[in-house]
Structure 1
Amino acid sequence: MERIYLDSAASTPVADEVINEMIPYLKQQFGNPSSIHYFGRETNRALQLARKRVADLIGATKPLEITFTSGGTEADNLAIKGTAEYVRIKDPSKNHIITSYVEHDAVLEPCRDLERLGYKVTFLPVTKECLVEPKVLKEAIMSTTALVSIMYANNEVGTIQPVKELARIAHESGALFHTDAVQAAGKISVDVNDLGIDLLSMSSHKINGPKGVGALYIRNGLEIMPIIHGGGQESTMRSGTENVPGIAGFGKACELAKARMTEYENYVSSLRDYFVDKVLSEIPYSRLNGSRTSRLASNAHFTFFGVNGEDLIIKLDESGIAASTGSACSVKKQKPSHVLKAMGFSYEEITGSLRISLSMKNTKEEVDRTVNVLAEVVRELRSLSPFKSKYA
């Protein structure tokens, strides 16, 4: 059976060029980058090249604005907890954090942890299309607000947030602005200076890099507190010997993503639109979720009424097609999507959801086969549903 992978929002294959970039640092150049001898200098050179490549992808002017982490989750935690702690030390009245109900758990959980430590956290609602409205942020922000953290693009429904306007509102009130760009960086053009972003989180394995490495952009001149203490690596922001092979691979992945950006957006968005139109025309009682226009090129998120999404995933997998119901990080928790709940969806709408996330490796032929299988599986599952007469 030839399998089809449609879950690129969860993870992506490591590019051959990335693997080739990593191999020397797994074999010949194995030195500790903090060592001052030849072997250490060679591995440190790899770190600095990768730092520049990551910075170039997001328009950062100084490579040292990039701090390497173990992934997007650590980058989010460092941004939120590190900023909150530093700001409150400087000004104890600044104890208010603003985020949204549709953030990834890597943002929601550190915010809830700060609540337990006495911080005040406001969770903003979203529209039916998963948009955080600037006027809602404006109403919520206060003189005590230290940080606003709103994701760049939603990991489940793909909606792109108006981060430039949100950052402007935060700055007008004296607050800092962080965005979780794990789903966006490398897939759409990001310029931190044009957008006015203070902190930005990234992850390697979403853009054909290795797992276990990410980065936090920290605007030059901005100070935050580290959350991992030790030998003072990464300019004291993230202690621990750096994952040199992973970081080298991440840097190469960023270089590749920047070079292919226009091609990626054009090809993948065209394939996505073809997929969406085909599903909506061939499968009755189906609906596209999120914004039709302001969304990631790779994302197509549907509700199929009268069907359980997890049953759908299992059936698709039996036919050799990999997709998901939403965030891969939340699957094992067995809980309804907090994103769809915040968008006002009913239980039936939430449980009947399916996320398709495409890449440049996918083809029209794969889309055709997927939609044919999907239509058959939906018909089969609806025939077994107690509500089958409603969706016949």
Structure 2
Amino acid sequence: MRTYLDHNATSPIRPEAREAMLAALELQGNASSVHEEGRKARALIETARDEVARALGTIAPAIVFTGGGSESCNQALRCVSVDRLVVSAIEHPCVLEAAKVSGLPVDVLPVDENGVVDVSALGNLLGNGDGRALVSVMLANNETGAIQPVRDVVAVAGEHDALVHCDAVQAFGKLPVNFGLLGVDLLSVSAHKLGGPQGVGALVIRDGLPVSPLVAGGGQELRRRAGTENIAGIAGFAAAVRAAGKTESDFKGLQAKLESALASGPGEVVVFSTGVDRLSNTVCFALTGLEADTALMAFDLDGIAVSSGSACSSGKVQASHVLKAMGASEATTKSAIRVSLGWSSTVEDVNRFSDSWQKIAGRHVARAAAA
């Protein structure tokens, strides 16, 4: 029996999303066609758009369906007319890499030891540059779970006529995410982090803000993203949003149980970002000297799926840029492990993880003492 505790990487698809996708696959039409089959496909997309918009506290025309969170973030950073970018040091690689290839000057906003952005430094960065800036700050960090002061960022940005993009991919489905209340200009979300299908997401665009298409070739999505829409994916996205709104629980009890097991186990474990508000489903920790790749293989052999704090797209384990930005040592960053809970997680899952950790950490501590 496998224990899946890597929901921040991708959450298993919810039954409601699967059912909606199977029903959508029965539709035969292209949503851009005017015949009955096309109209049925279009109706499904627009119903889904309404549902996602309502969940995000915005209007349906603000929603652009995309191929996922990375595409949404790329469009936000590369397709808005600004003169420079400011990105936080803990952003997801899709934001950091999009900034690099944008051709614009890029400033990096530092974070404190808990992984929270330095809002006062933002004012200095915006005040010292030329031209209009776009600031990109995530709502909740994918590695540590640290929640960012986005509304404070918006307030400072407003003083300098700067735009704000927020990557809410990790937060949506775990926190209330309201586009209007956050006050940002652009917001990215993804389906598969909350139990929807992989390969579909959305970019939310403030009314009146011009955004060029990242994908050219057609007039879909109000000419903001070309290409025939992923009808089944969009249907599954909306169904997952509905299900998350009904069933998403507060994981604080499981988080506390897990962290208690770490504290009482072998060795001195560091849990990151405990001094600030975090996502209640996320625990990022390290036992210095026990490298993450070794621990991950041991967990996998025990039937438990967790991840490094920084598993890259190739599947290799690299030192976390997030933890480095927080001031963690090289040795600690290489030991970081992330446990992330989700809609299917249970007390039994946490118990199995805790039992496995006792064995893995115990072996490491014993070897270190004998060396």
Q: Distance in 2 between matches of 1:106 and 1:347?
A: 23
1:195 to 171, 179, 182: 182
Q: Distance in 2 between matches of 1:270 and 1:334?
A: 29
1:65 and 2:62 are equivalent in the alignment: yes
Q: Which amino acid aligns with 2:364?
A: L
2:106 to 121, 130, 147: 121
Q: CA deviation at 1:333?
A: 5.1
Matches within 5 A, 1:358-377: 358-377=341-360
Q: Which residue of 2 is the match for residue 6 of structure 1?
A: 5
Q: Which residue of 2 is the match for residue 134 of structure 1?
A: 119
Q: Distance in 2 between matches of 1:54 and 1:322?
A: 30
Q: Distance in 2 between matches of 1:259 and 1:58?
A: 15
SS of equivalent to 2:189 = strand
What are the Cα deviations for residues 356-376 of structure 1, in whole angstroms up to 9, with x where unaligned? 001232222221221121021
Q: CA deviation at 1:330?
A: 4.3
SS of equivalent to 1:148 = strand
Q: Is the 8 A contact 2:67 2:199 kept in 1?
A: yes
SS of equivalent to 1:226 = coil
Q: CA deviation at 1:274?
A: 1.4
Q: Which amino acid aligns with 1:219?
A: R
Q: CA deviation at 1:292?
A: 4.3
Greater CA drift, 33-42 or 324-333: 324-333
SS of equivalent to 1:235 = helix
Q: Which amino acid aligns with 2:347?
A: K
Matches within 5 A, 1:42-61: 42-60=40-58
SS of equivalent to 1:182 = coil
What are the Cα deviations for residues 150-196 of structure 1, in whole angstroms up to 9, with x where unaligned? 11111111101000110111122101100111100111001111111
Q: CA deviation at 1:293?
A: 4.1
Q: Distance in 2 between matches of 1:76 and 1:152?
A: 13
What are the Cα deviations for residues 227-270 of structure 1, in whole angstroms up to 9, with x where unaligned? 21111110000000000000011011111222234xx12xx121
Q: CA deviation at 1:218?
A: 0.3
Q: Which residue of 2 is the match for residue 92 of structure 1?
A: none
1:271 to 254, 257, 281: 254
Q: Which residue of 1 is the match for residue 208 of structure 2?
A: 221
Identity %: 38
Q: Distance in 1 between matches of 2:317 and 2:145?
A: 21
Q: Distance in 1 between matches of 2:298 and 2:314?
A: 16
1:17 and 2:16 are equivalent in the alignment: yes
1:150 and 2:133 are equivalent in the alignment: no
Q: Which residue of 2 is the match for residue 246 of structure 1?
A: 233
Q: Distance in 2 between matches of 1:121 and 1:70?
A: 25
Matches within 5 A, 1:256-335: 256-261=243-248, 264-265=249-250, 268-330=251-313, 332=315, 334-335=317-318
Q: CA deviation at 1:389?
A: 6.0
1:112 to 100, 117, 137: 100
Q: Which amino acid aligns with 1:21?
A: A
Q: Which amino acid aligns with 2:13?
A: V
2:332 to 349, 373, 383: 349
Q: Distance in 2 between matches of 1:379 and 1:15?
A: 36
Instruction: Give the unaligned 5+ runs of structure 2.
Output: none
Q: Is the 8 A contact 1:12 1:206 kept in 2?
A: yes
Q: CA deviation at 1:141?
A: 0.8
Q: Distance in 2 between matches of 1:216 and 1:230?
A: 18
Q: Distance in 2 between matches of 1:318 and 1:332?
A: 17
Q: Distance in 2 between matches of 1:233 and 1:199?
A: 19
Q: Distance in 2 between matches of 1:291 and 1:56?
A: 32
Q: CA deviation at 1:329?
A: 3.8
Q: CA deviation at 1:110?
A: 0.8
Q: Which amino acid aligns with 2:108?
A: F
TM-score after normalising by structure 1: 0.91
Greater CA drift, 360-369 or 337-346: 360-369
User: What is the aligned length?
Assistant: 369
SS of equivalent to 1:332 = coil
Q: Is the 8 A contact 2:292 2:317 kept in 1?
A: no
What are the Cα deviations for residues 288-324 of structure 1, in whole angstroms up to 9, with x where unaligned? 1113441011100101122111100000110111100
What are the Cα deviations for residues 196-229 of structure 1, in whole angstroms up to 9, with x where unaligned? 1110001111011011100000011111111211
Instruction: Give the unaligned 5+ runs of structure 1.
Output: 88-94
Q: Distance in 2 between matches of 1:339 and 1:30?
A: 45
Q: Which residue of 1 is the match for residue 30 of structure 2?
A: 32
Q: Distance in 2 between matches of 1:377 and 1:271?
A: 21
Greater CA drift, 220-229 or 374-383: 374-383
Q: Distance in 2 between matches of 1:342 and 1:46?
A: 43
